[in-house]
Every structure is written in C-alpha cells, then in structure tokens.
Structure 1
Amino acid sequence: MSEAIERFFESLPARAPQVLRGPVAGTIQIDLSKDNQTTHWLVRMAPGEIEVSQVRGPADAIWYNSEELFERLVTGRAQAIAAVLRNESTFSGNVVLFLAFRRFFPTRPGTRDPREVARQQAGRLR
C-alpha cells in the first residue's frame, strides 16, 4: 500500500467537517487491487463526520479500483468520475456516496475554480 493512500485515509476524519456538509449518510467500501490481492477500506459517512477502517463489511456502495489508479486520485493526477466513465474503475450501489466521497480528492495541480476565472474576466471587461 502506498504511503499517499494511507495518508489520504488517515486525513479523512479531520477533513470531514469541511467536506461533508450536506445530509449524506452511508457506508462505502473501497476495494484496491494490486497483484491479485485486494485491500478493503470501509468508510462510514455522516454529515460532518467520517469513520475509516481497513475491513470488509456491509456497505451501501462498493467502489473497485486498482491501487495505481487510486494513488493518482489521491494525488490529484486523475479524476474519479472520469475514471468510472472510462471504465478504469467500477462502482455499484448508492451513487450519492460516490459523489460525496470524491470531494475528498484534491484537484489537479494548477486547476482554478471556474467561478474565480469568470470573476476575473468580468473585472477586465469593466
């Protein structure tokens, strides 16, 4: 297991109050595969809080990834929705949990908020 992935999961509880503001609640199991072995992470989400364990258990959703892809996700070099749409990873279950969980991933280096870009453009036109 890469250090970036472990640090990512360790950081989730402290980041949850800022990221999970809406009424999302449920459990997502994230399965990471490498060399015919699968590591399981069980993430229980509730408004403003998250609980992470490295077990397999009952879940409302399951997200299957390669460890290499997940490392790209946690370092901002890939996007979760794009990976699912390209069939690089698969997801089953409550899609709301996937959409909420993806907000924990960092943005790609150099990415700017489109609202800020629009404000700057509007300011130049004045």
Structure 2
Amino acid sequence: MSEATERFFESLPARAPHVLRGPVNGTMQIDLARGNQTAHWVVRMRPGAIEVSRQRGPADAIWYTSEDLFDRLVTGRAQAISTVLRNESSFSGDVVLFLAFRRFFPDPPDTRDPREVAREQAGRLR
C-alpha cells in the first residue's frame, strides 16, 4: 500500500464535513488488488461524517480496483468515473455512495477553475 493511499484514507474524517454535505448514508467497501492480495477498506458515510476501517463487513456497495490505479486517483492523475466506464475498475451496489466518495479525490494537477480563466481572458481584452 502506498503512502499516498494511506494518507488519503487517514484524511477522510477531517475532510468529510466539507465534502459530504448532501443526504448520503451507507457503507462502501473498497478492494485494492495487488497481485494475488487484496487490501480492504470500508468507509461508512453519512452527512458530514465518514468512518474508515480496514475490517470487512456488510456493505451497501463494493468498488474493486488495483492499488496502482487507486494511487493515480488519490494523486489526481485519474478520474474515478472514467476508470469504471473504461472497465479499469468495477463497482456494484448503491451508486450514490460511489458518486459521493469520488468527490474526495483531488482534481488533476494544474487544473484551474474555468471561471478564473474566463476572468483573466476578459481582463486582457480590456
């Protein structure tokens, strides 16, 4: 397990009040595969809070991906929905949990808010 992934999961409880504002409630298991081994993370989400565990248990949704791909997600070098659509990862269960969880991932490096870019362009035209 990479240090980036470990830090990502450790940071979730502190970031949850800012990310989980909507009515999300459920448990998602994230299975990270490396060779013949699979690491399991369980996140219990509710509005404004998240609990993270390494213990398997009942889950409303399961997301299966490789450790390598997850490292790219936590560093902003990949996008969660794109990985599912390209069959690089698989998801089953309550899709609302997946859509809420993906908001914890960072934007790609050097990404800027399009409104800021538009303001800069408008300022240059004056």
Which residue number in structure 2 is paired with residue 37 of structure 1?
37
Which residue number in structure 1 is paired with residue 98 of structure 2?
98
Shift of 1:121: 4.4
Which residue number in structure 1 is paired with residue 24 of structure 2?
24
TM-score by length of 2: 0.93
The unaligned stretches of length 5 or more in structure 1 are none
What CA distance in whole angstroms lies between the structure 2 residues aligned with 1:89 and 1:43? 18
Moved over 6 A (4+): none
What CA distance in whole angstroms lies between the structure 1 residues aligned with 2:118 and 2:93? 36
Higher mean alpha-carbon deviation, 112-121 vs 80-89, is at 112-121
Shift of 1:124: 5.4
Give the alignment of 1:1-126 within 5 angstroms: 1-121=1-121
Shift of 1:117: 3.1
Distance 1:122 1:26, change over 3 A: farther
What CA distance in whole angstroms lies between the structure 2 residues aligned with 1:116 and 1:94? 35
TM-score by length of 1: 0.93
Aligned length: 126
CA RMSD of aligned residues (A): 1.3
Task: State the percentage of identical aligned residues.
Answer: 81
